[in-house]
């Protein structure tokens, strides 16, 4: 999916910005996905909140420094729209609306037959088929104001935005390329980041339901220089472990509630989640994966990406999202 603000294609960098970090990946090759270069920079608190830019000037200055350090000046860029700014909705429209007319039809029906929780959306669609006089389309929407603000940020630092994407689709591309996906499964993708937990249900490779849990998971996490490496930073927890445990347990319960909602409300008991995919940048992701395996009693998959010729055991989980973004084809 590409929000319809951009066009063009060439060798690009892939950037993911969330409330606490900026990450980039440049691919050496796409199949299999092999990263060429990657890097990250942690952000001060308050620069971005719930996906919305609060201090544009500070963010611009930091991104400008990143571009110089990473040597990606004047490059084309794909970026992720923060999950908190994205919604997925299934919409029924008349069967006689042609494919190239669907966008225009949806715009005309906004606010009357079609209701979104924000004004002036930018969106993309996936056709789900026709039955009788109706056809179903899946609408991915986000407020144009915020998508444009991120595009303006990249333009301000002399990058060229060519595509915006959403995290579930980016991760699913990597999952599918890893030969883990099956059309018969119902997959719950859980992106467990430090500032938000995003969940998306896939049926037959298509995302049909998305929900995110905003949280204050960043509380008591501090940026520190890595021991033995003065050039690398990491997030270190300085609070009470019991408090962190309570936070995680609350999120596990929310994941279970979403699974029950999907099973009993969305699919009327006809379908249920058959597999969970867990990814994210949370520093305790290993423990989180173990907890989910133990508590939710559903098979759990994770992503592993190896870098040929590298001394690293595998590519860091926190960069998987940017890597999956790099698999996107720009129309």
Mean pLDDT by 10 residues, the chain (331 residues): 42 93 93 90 93 97 97 96 90 90 88 78 87 90 94 97 94 94 95 93 93 77 71 83 91 95 93 97 95 94 84 84 89 44
Question: What's the start-to-end Cα distance of the chain, in Å?
Answer: 9
Tokens for 132? 């009788």
Tokens for 196? 């938000």
Can you tell me the distance from the alpha carbon of 145 to that of 273, in angstroms, rounded to the nearest whole number? 34
Alpha carbon 68 to its chain's center: 25
Q: Which element (helix H / strand E) includes 237?
A: strand 233-237
The predicted pLDDT at position 117 comes to: 79
Q: State the span(s) of the chain assigned CATH 3.30.1490.300.
A: 87-142
- In angstroms, the Cα distances linking 140 to 122, 247, 259, 294, 330 are 8, 30, 21, 33, 17
Q: State the span(s) of the chain assigned CATH 3.30.420.40.
A: 12-85+143-325
Q: Which CATH number is 87-142's, of 3.30.1490.300, 2.160.10.10, 1.10.10.10, 3.20.20.70?
A: 3.30.1490.300
Q: What is the DSSP string of 103-149?
A: HHHHHHHBTTTB--SSSSEEEEEEEEEEETTEEEEEEEEEEHHHHHH
The predicted pLDDT at position 313 comes to: 67
Q: Which CATH number is 12-85+143-325's, of 1.10.390.10, 3.30.420.40, 3.10.20.30, 3.40.190.10?
A: 3.30.420.40
| 32 cis-preceded (ω within 30 degrees of 0) | yes
The predicted pLDDT at position 227 comes to: 64
Kindly give, in sequence order, each residue whose CB lies less than 8 Å from that of residue 267, ignoring residues fewer than 6 positions away: none
The predicted pLDDT at position 172 comes to: 96
Do strands 206-214 and 196-203 pair parallel, antiparallel, or not at all (unpaired)?
antiparallel
**Helix, strand or coil, per DSSP, at residue 87:** strand
Nearest to 47 by CA among 214, 195, 226, 212: 195
Kindly give, in sequence order, each residue whose CB lies less than 8 Å from that of residue 55, ignoring residues fewer than 6 positions away: 46, 47
CA-based diameter of the chain, in Å?
Answer: 66
């Amino acid at each position: 999916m590409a929000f319809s603000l951009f066009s063009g294609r060439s060798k690009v960098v892939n950037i993911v910005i969330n409330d606490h970090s900026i990450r980039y990946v440049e691919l050496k090759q796409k199949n299999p996905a092999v990263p060429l270069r990657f890097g990250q920079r942690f952000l001060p608190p308050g620069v971005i909140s719930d996906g919305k830019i609060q201090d544009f000037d500070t963010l611009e200055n930091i991104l400008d420094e990143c571009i110089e350090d990473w040597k990606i000046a004047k490059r084309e860029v794909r970026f992720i729209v923060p999950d908190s700014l994205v919604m997925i909705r299934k919409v029924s429209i008349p069967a006689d609306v042609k494919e190239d007319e669907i966008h225009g039809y949806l715009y005309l029906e906004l606010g009357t037959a079609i209701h979104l929780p924000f004004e002036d959306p930018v969106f993309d669609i996936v056709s789900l088929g026709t039955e009788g006089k109706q056809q179903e389309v899946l609408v991915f929407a986000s407020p144009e104001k915020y998508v444009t603000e991120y595009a303006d940020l990249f333009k301000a630092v002399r990058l060229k935005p060519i595509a915006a994407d959403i995290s579930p689709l980016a991760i699913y591309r990597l999952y599918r390329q890893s030969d883990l996906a099956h059309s018969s499964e119902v997959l719950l993708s859980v992106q467990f980041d430090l500032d938000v937990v995003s969940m998306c249900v896939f049926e037959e490779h298509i995302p049909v339901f998305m929900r995110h849990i905003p949280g204050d998971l960043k509380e008591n996490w501090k940026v520190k220089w890595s021991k033995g490496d003065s050039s690398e930073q990491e997030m270190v927890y300085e609070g009470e472990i019991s408090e962190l445990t309570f936070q995680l347990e609350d999120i596990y319960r929310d994941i279970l509630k979403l699974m029950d909602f999907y099973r009993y409300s969305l699919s009327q008991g006809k379908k249920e989640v058959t597999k969970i995919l867990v990814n994210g940048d949370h520093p305790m992701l290993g423990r989180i994966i173990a907890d989910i395996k133990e508590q939710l009693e559903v098979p759990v998959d994770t992503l592993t990406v190896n870098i040929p010729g590298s001394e690293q055991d595998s590519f860091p989980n926190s960069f998987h999202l940017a890597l999956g973004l790099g698999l996107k084809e720009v129309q």
